[in-house]
Structure 1
Amino acid sequence: MRFDCHRTRQGWRSSCFNVITVGLYGVAIPLAVLLQIVKHKPAVGIPLLLAAFAGVGVYLVRRARKAEQRRLEAARLAEIRQVQSREVARYHTMSPGEFEHAIAYLCQRDGCTDVKAVGGAGDLGADVIATAPDGRRVVIQCKRYGPTNKVGSPDAQRFGGTCYSMHGAHVPVLVTTSTFTRQAVGYATAQGIRLYDERALGGWASQTGPAPWHQASVPAA
């Protein structure tokens, strides 16, 4: 039976009292029975009592270990988030052109060949073009936007209109220092465009997350 301690103000004390009462009875009654067995049949009751204490001890140790594991995992994730945030903060200080060259560097660092930063007038939606380690053609459009300026569906559609037909992309990637709107995510998912928002970019840059050609990273809409 489940008891809810978060009911209305009038029923809160009563509900919590019920939980505590059930918990006490759940321990007290078996313990009382064991003590009676120990009293009248020590040869049987003492081993049972020792086994019960041992079981409780094992349970408490396991529970403590799980709590420590959860704490360590939370600390590790918090550290990773801090590293990723610092990486993205660096990109926010760059000009759009510098950001494109920074993305080209990440491609080269992670094993791509024929890496070119081709952004500028007449780029037809491609800012970085590279060949992935497995030979696929990677075409990336970079959006160095502020945190509150989301990449929208029109941006995604313009890229989708050229990344395959004009640039022959096997792995089209739209990467930003910001996030994507729900509409942009929907369009990109339908078109097979991989979206890298600030968190995914931070993971890629800090090597705590995958490069775009290893795993699609589409933010939740």
Structure 2
Amino acid sequence: MPKKTTQPHQDHPSHWVAVIILALAVAVVMPEFRQLAGLLFLAGLIGLPFSWMAFQKRKSRTLALRDLQLLTPRELELHVARVLDALPGWSAHATRGSSDQGADVIAITPNGKKVAVQVKHYRNNVGNKAVQEIVASKAIYQCEHAVVFTSGPGYTKAAIELAKANRVPLWVPADLFRIQEVAEQKGSMPRELLPGSTSGWLG
């Protein structure tokens, strides 16, 4: 039988609402525990707004992922280009669709390095063919670096091994959302999304 995986516990605002209600009930029903009830009530008031903000952020991420999956392959390529282009000092544009030679987006870093990006509109794991194609496209577009992005859950073991050997970052939706957030804050590309040595990317 396949091993069941357990989902990590995620805080929910309703948990803190329950704490507040419990505190009020304790204060009314058991007056001798009013001090404890007061502490519970205070904890609920403090925890509820933070829990609500975290809940809204998770909800927006879920909606954003659904939005990505609803895009057409071409729309997804254009979206990735826009996200990269919004990074301070970066520029990016989508290539011409079917004649892209494996690179769907060409980006230029703040220090002038060209990056070829292949965008895969997948619902399953991406195989190593995508990595092979983007590595080959580096020479065609005279790029120093290459990246693969997927709207799906991730990559096969073979793809991960080949990407590691060729120093090709493999991005998933969470990475694109992270870049988008950084761009909105006028920050720099997260270094963990770049190859092991970042000097060639950022100067």
TM-score, length-normalised on structure 1?
A: 0.56
Deviations 1:70-109 (CA, angstroms, capped at 9, x unpaired): x999887665444333222211111111111111111111
| CA distance 1:94–1:73, shift in 2 (3 Å) | same
Rounded to whole Å, the distance in 1 between the matches of 2:49 and 2:159 is 36
Deviations 1:157-198 (CA, angstroms, capped at 9, x unpaired): 1222222x2223233111111111121111111101111112
Count of paired positions: 149
1:169 equivalent in alignment to 2:146: no
Equivalent positions of 1:1-221 (< 5 A) are 80-146=57-123, 149-163=124-138, 165-178=139-152, 179-207=154-182, 214-217=190-193
Rounded to whole Å, the distance in 2 between the matches of 1:151 and 1:206 is 25
The two structures, once aligned, show a CA RMSD in angstroms of 3.3
Unaligned runs of 5+ in 2: 1-42, 195-203
Rounded to whole Å, the distance in 2 between the matches of 1:120 and 1:126 is 9
| CA distance 1:112–1:142, shift in 2 (3 Å) | farther
| CA distance 1:217–1:72, shift in 2 (3 Å) | farther
| CA distance 1:205–1:83, shift in 2 (3 Å) | farther
Rounded to whole Å, the distance in 2 between the matches of 1:209 and 1:73 is 22
SS in 1 for 2:116: strand
**Aligned position for 1:6:** none
Rounded to whole Å, the distance in 1 between the matches of 2:188 and 2:104 is 15
Rounded to whole Å, the distance in 2 between the matches of 1:209 and 1:187 is 32
Rounded to whole Å, the distance in 1 between the matches of 2:160 and 2:140 is 22
Unaligned runs of 5+ in 1: 1-64
TM-score, length-normalised on structure 2?
A: 0.60
Q: Is the 8 A contact 2:121 2:151 kept in 1?
A: yes
Rounded to whole Å, the distance in 1 between the matches of 2:166 and 2:69 is 28
Rounded to whole Å, the distance in 2 between the matches of 1:156 and 1:207 is 26
Rounded to whole Å, the distance in 2 between the matches of 1:83 and 1:198 is 13
Q: Counterpart of 1:173 in structure 2: which amino acid?
A: V
| CA distance 1:133–1:85, shift in 2 (3 Å) | farther
* Max Rg structure: 1
